[in-house]
Amino acid sequence: QVQLVQSGPEVQKPGASVKISCKTSGYSFTSDYVHWVRQAPGQGLEWMGIIDPKTGRTSYKERFQNRVNMTRDTSTSTVYMEVSSLKSDDTARYFCARDSRLSMVRGVHYPKFDFWGQGTLVTVSS
């Protein structure tokens, strides 16, 4: 079965960096995209970016462009996201989510986040 398992909670100081992992299993790692979404305490969902595990190509939300780096390791079917220059408002739960490249409806590809990691809580505090 498809699973995305994320690394454990992190506590970091302002200005530091954090690297979160998302280990996938149960499907062909290079067949599908992986997205990252975050959720601040009591708030809604915010899309951060996407990585194509096949090519390593990424696309980030503009406001994260200079602070986020998504990478992948095809040997372990793992995706990573590093967030640098952390601020207190980066305190959030970070989720990875799979987006099936083969999601088709009436012959048209429609993205969908069909499997999610359990989330990684990152706390930024001095």
Partner 1 sequence: DVQLTQSPSFLSASIGDRVTITCRASQIISSYLAWYQQKPGEAPKLLIYAASTLQSGVPSRFSGSGSGTAFTLTISSLQPEDFATYYCQQLNFYPFTFGPGTKVDIK
**Residue 83, beta-bridge partner list:** 18, 68
* Residue 74 burial (10 A CB sphere; 0-12, 13-18, 19+): exposed
Return the residue of 18, 34, 35, 77 that touches partner 1, per CB under 8 A.
35
- Report the alpha-carbon angle 58-60-64, nearest 5: 140
- Assess contact for 60 and 81: CB atoms under 8 A: no
Please tell me whether residue 52 binds partner 1 under the rule CB under 8 A.
Answer: no
Select 55 or 74, whichever has its Cβ closest to partner 1.
Answer: 55
Binding track, positions 58-87, relative to partner 1; x by CB under 8 A:
-x-xx-------------------------
41 binds partner 1 (CB under 8 A): no
User: Distance between CA atoms of 41 and 48, rounded to whole angstroms?
Assistant: 16
Asked whether position 38 contacts partner 1 by CB under 8 A, the answer is: no
What is the contact surface with partner 1 in residues (CB under 8 A)? Answer: 35, 37, 44-47, 50, 59, 61-62, 95, 97, 103, 105, 108, 110-114, 116-119
